[in-house]
Amino acid sequence: MSFFGLDQIVAFMSANAYLAIFLLMFGESTILPIPSEVVLPFAGFLVWSGAINPFLGFADGVGASLFGNLVGFLVGYVFGVDVVYRYGRRFGFSMKSYRDGEKWVKKYGYLFAFISKLLPVVRSFSSVVCGALKMEVKRFTAWTFAGIAIWSAVLMYLGYYVAGNWQEIVTLLTNVGLYLSIAVVVGLVFLLRNWLYGVFVMVYRRVRS
């Protein structure tokens, strides 16, 4: 079992409570292989057992996750354009196309920042994408916080609600998490297919021009 396996996470959180929640959620939000689907339900169990205060535990996890996302955003913001410029030209991608996409993200991209925080897997690296595309930092922070708060509240409540059977929630989320993310993405693509086609045509024409 890896260092971030179920037994190791449970032992670490049982021994360190708030510190463990902060470190694990910070790590999870900076692309480390730490499943929030384990950390948050067990935090809910710790609330149920009286080991931690529900409000402090919730604030601890949300604050750590938001901090980690801001770090990821900064990394993408600083290095993103350079990466696009260096490697994108090999695939016929112009910087003008990038700038056009950047304007769109600044105007509408907060929806991605919000929705991605409600999805397993995707949520761990979406902040880097938002940073690389130069999303406006205030909107990114506000909508990322909203998504993190909802995700954290739901998983902690589930862990609290099932109490001693919290492992069942972890097993369910672990098994279906990736498939759920794929299903949501496919669903969004289907719903927005006309809009996406229009964007694709616009970018294609600009790249070819």
Q: Say what the pLDDT of residue 2 is.
A: 43
Q: Say what the pLDDT of residue 28 is.
A: 87
- This model's pTM is above 0.75: no
Q: Say what the pLDDT of residue 143 is.
A: 92
Q: Say what the pLDDT of residue 159 is.
A: 83
What is d(CA 125, CA 61) in angstroms, rounded to the nearest whole number? Answer: 17
| Residue corresponding to tokens 């609290």 | 160
Is 52 a member of any domain?
Answer: yes
* Alpha-carbon distance values, 123 to 15, 72, 103 (Å): 27, 11, 22
Stated as kind and residue range, the H or E segment containing 163 is none
Is 69 a member of any domain?
Answer: yes
Q: Count the domains in the chain.
A: 1
Q: Say what the pLDDT of residue 49 is.
A: 86
| Residue corresponding to tokens 């993190």 | 148
Beta carbons within 8 Å of 17's beta carbon, 6+ residues apart: 46, 51, 52
Is 71 a member of any domain?
Answer: yes
Residue 119: what residue type?
A: L
Q: Say what the pLDDT of residue 64 is.
A: 96
Is 165 a member of any domain?
Answer: yes
Residue 161: what residue type?
A: Y
Q: Say what the pLDDT of residue 48 is.
A: 87
Is 51 a member of any domain?
Answer: yes
The parent domain of residue 89 ranges over 6-208
Is 164 a member of any domain?
Answer: yes
Is 110 a member of any domain?
Answer: yes
For the chain, 209 residues long, the average pLDDT of each consecutive 10-residue run is 63 88 91 80 88 94 95 85 57 56 66 80 76 85 93 87 68 56 58 54 56
Is 1 a member of any domain?
Answer: no
